[in-house]
Amino acid sequence: MRGHNGSKGKQRMDFSAQIVARLKTALNMSEAEIEELIETPPEREMGDLALVCFRLAKRLRKAPQAIAAGLKETVDWPDFVTRTEVEGAYLNVFFDRAKRAKNVLETALRAGEDYGASDEGKGKTVCIDFSSINIAKPFHIGHLSSTAIGNALYRIYGFLGYACVGINHLGDWGTQFGKLIVAYKLWGDRDEIEARSVASMLGLYVRFHDEAEKDPALEDQAREWFKRIEDGDPEALEIFDWFKELTLREADRVYRLLNVRFDSYAGESFYNDKMDRVIDELRAKNLLVESDGAWVVDLEEYGMPPCLILKSDGATLYATRDIAAALYRKDTYDFHKALYVVAYQQNLHFSQWFKVVELMGYAWSKDLVHVAFGMVSMEDGTLSTRRGKVVFLEDVLGRAIDKALEVINEKSPELENKEDVARQVGVGAVVWGTVSNARIKDIVFSYDRALSFEGETAPYVQYTCARTTSVLEKAPALDGDIDYAQLCDEEAGEVVRMLEAFPAKIIEAAERCEPYIVARHIVDLAQAFNRFYYEHRIIGEDGPRMRARLMLVRAVRDCLRRGLWLLGIEAPEHM
């Protein structure tokens, strides 16, 4: 279990938040309602912030323009507001840019890489069920989204003070293990499996299905071996545990590359002795009904098919196990939220068993959240090594690292630690491919697009971050006053605005379970900084101006580095 350990002193309220607070008082509305009416004008000459008064007309029974004019005169504006202007139904607010820069930069630099951290989650636990690989099956490209999105949410919630429990709900139960044992006993070689691990097990599994089409008796043998696992037979358990150990050893290499960690590997098998509670409770609450010999919870009233709890042979199903796991997690962690980072194909499954938990009378069913996401596929012509018609995630990461090294050798052949930087860039590019899009969007992964140093990519943000480091390394040691008036130009003003918004973007990403909000923001920050960098000299300017610009550079570096970290991506010092 982990929360963020950094400094979380209360950070000064940003200028926009202060305006919202003043309008809240003037309009007698909630901050959330006011925020719905606030916009950032598309053109800077239209102000730094605009209040849209259309939706206030019905509430206040006045024309929007009259509302804007009235607020202009009656609101107790803070001293950093230089003027306000009414333009139609809009009330445009202009900030003193020097004061804004001073407020933002002093706050950001005081916090360093903890800028945006908070204690809002103190005393609250968030369980995050993600990755959930299957034992004896490949850790493939299809697991990328769950793993990357879940890891980003784990970091984002932790940064906001929540105690996070990362759970890898392993697929480690079912008749497939009986099939694999039969295949191993008939055709397997222990040394070969030790050497090739999951690839070898996948080959055995594929062969079992081919042979079973010719000899259906193999299916009976598979059921027998799985029954032996269930009954605790020593030989069956020894082979089963060996398969599990090999799979996790191979998966650990991928998790290390991705900088992903878990607090629990309690998978399906962990809940074998916890199913009776679910079944007994459903019966006691008269929720179970018989249907063709099986037992279900009828959800027709809620527009869903029945939720299958027990098959006619008495076997439990995924829903039974998920309910048992939710009860266990609530008892063990008393979670504030339980997130399930699972593809959208499982929407119905989660809707069904969430509703069953609600019908069982548990008010915390509202705290169960399905964090759905789209599919990842490979672009035609950029195939990795395919084994058993599966693209292994380790192969994708390896190829991305190789391609990153090619780019580095071409663009920066003198760079130190090229292999390490290539790993950071290659892995970052793969992770970015899924965390930089709205979750629900299907993704076609392209190596060339992901590894581009131009556009909205991880290497672009990493390179910008390295650029800030380079500037700071070349800067002379400076003492003395800082002239914030030197940061009032359009380019610096836009960077300050992006820095000011960073903490709110982290909170929004947590509230919506959307890491891409952070990704989108750090791309915008990187682009704003690069415009500033190309338009304004930094090193060699007079003292007060150089100090002000270097403060801006340092704050950008800290924000980009932290933003990348929140997404599970490293920031190379040099590129």
3-state secondary structure of 81: strand
Q: Quick one: how far is CA 36 from the chain centroid? A: 25
Which residues, 6+ apart, have CB-to-CB distance to 189 below 8 Å? Answer: none
Active-site positions?
137, 140, 143
Residue type, 478: L
- The candidate with the shortest Cα–Cα distance to 337, out of 160, 170, 501, 567, is 160
Neighbour tally for 129: CB within 10 Å: 24
- The candidate with the shortest Cα–Cα distance to 134, out of 206, 198, 182, 222, is 198
How far apart are the C-alpha atoms of 467 and 456, rounded to whole Å?
16
Torsion-angle region of 17 (φ positive above 0: left; ψ -120 to 50: alpha; else: beta): alpha
Neighbour tally for 85: CB within 10 Å: 14
- Give the burial class of 281: count Cβ atoms within 10 A of its Cβ; 0-12 exposed, 13-18 middle, 19 or more buried: middle
Query: What are the structure tokens assigned to 32, written together?
Result: 């959330």
Contact indicator for 382, 396 with CB cutoff of 8 Å = no
Query: What are the structure tokens assigned to 123, written together?
Result: 């005393």
Query: What are the structure tokens assigned to 155, written together?
Result: 């970091």
Contact indicator for 281, 274 with CB cutoff of 8 Å = no
> How many residues are there in the chain?
575
Helical residues (DSSP H) of 112-197, grouped into ranges: 144-159, 176-187, 190-196
- The candidate with the shortest Cα–Cα distance to 278, out of 187, 344, 360, 223, is 360
How far apart are the C-alpha atoms of 128 and 263, rounded to whole Å?
10
- The candidate with the shortest Cα–Cα distance to 487, out of 476, 477, 478, 499, is 499
User: What one-character DSSP code corresponds to residue 392?
Assistant: B
The three-point CA angle 158-159-160 to 5° equals 90
